[in-house]
Structure 1
Amino acid sequence: MTAPTTAPHRTAAPTWVPACASHRLQPERGVAVLLPGGAQAALFRTHDGALYALDNTDPFTGAAVLSRGIVGDRAGEPTVASPMLKHRFALRTGASLDDPGVRLAAYPVLEDGGRVFVGAEPL
């Protein structure tokens, strides 16, 4: 199967990186996805089935650990807390909820044909 080359919210065709089979991505658990150029994304499925991907590197420690973070929410905003220092980030935008000056890159995510794909370039 070939991954789709476009997503409805983007005007340029992103490069899609195969991440995993859909059934392997468990709700509230993350997985690390290696992107072209050596970057990593942390990919999550929330309890309602929504998919999100953020930069996997914790900006406060430099460790590539966000895929091991604690998924939750703050006032209805889906979040992930870094397993290192417990800083929280909005899964939709990558914005830090603890330090307004910090933001992670957010990546497009697509589920198609029983597979999950992450865009190689941030939104």
Structure 2
Amino acid sequence: MPTDTLQWTAVCAADDILPNTGVCALVQGRHVAVFRIGDDQFHAIDNIDPQSGASVLSRGLVGSLGDRVVVASPLYKNHFDLRTGECLEAPQNSVRPHAVRVDGGRVLVAHG
């Protein structure tokens, strides 16, 4: 989806997210997990764990499997690719990825 047709919602200051952790934000009524990897990479995926229906992915452990940056669900330990939302153990449980950017020190998540 071209980024020039997207609408953006500011969710927090970039410094509010510690490196290699995530936070949950409400974007247009949707629970979104926003992750900061290192100092300057940001990713966003749906926060709802598809297996449990709980809004918990932002609380998962961030790491890597091969060349993929992932978060492990705190409930069922499934790994979700932070770039694509793909669930590595059960692709049918994949979540939606969201475009994210930092502008003026604020983290913005796309919707629309």
CA distance in 2 between partners of 1:11 and 1:47 (Å): 24
CA distance in 1 between partners of 2:25 and 2:56 (Å): 12
Alpha carbons of 1:65 and 1:11: their partners in 2 closer, same or farther (altered >3 Å)? closer
Matched, 1:18 2:10: yes
Deviates more, 1:45-54 or 1:79-88: 45-54
Matched, 1:93 2:84: yes
CA distance in 2 between partners of 1:88 and 1:44 (Å): 14
For structure 1, which runs of at least 5 residues remain unmatched after alignment?
A: 1-8
Secondary structure of 1:67's aligned partner: helix
Instruction: Answer yes or no: is the 8 Å Cα contact 2:51–2:93 preserved in 1.
Output: no
Query: 4+ residue runs of structure 1 moved beyond 2 angstroms?
Result: none
**Map of 2:34 onto structure 1:** 43
Secondary structure of 1:101's aligned partner: helix
CA distance in 1 between partners of 2:42 and 2:108 (Å): 10
For structure 2, which runs of at least 5 residues remain unmatched after alignment?
A: none
Alpha carbons of 1:77 and 1:48: their partners in 2 closer, same or farther (altered >3 Å)? farther
- Code of the residue aligned with 2:33 in structure 1: it is A
**Map of 1:120 onto structure 2:** 111
CA distance in 2 between partners of 1:52 and 1:78 (Å): 10
Instruction: Answer yes or no: is the 8 Å Cα contact 2:101–2:107 preserved in 1.
Output: yes
- Give the deviation of 1:11 after TM superposition: 5.5
Larger Rg: 1
In the TM superposition, what are the counterparts of 1:8-87 in structure 2 within 5 Å? 10=2, 12-36=4-28, 38-47=29-38, 49-87=40-78
Instruction: Normalising by structure 1, report the TM-score.
Output: 0.85
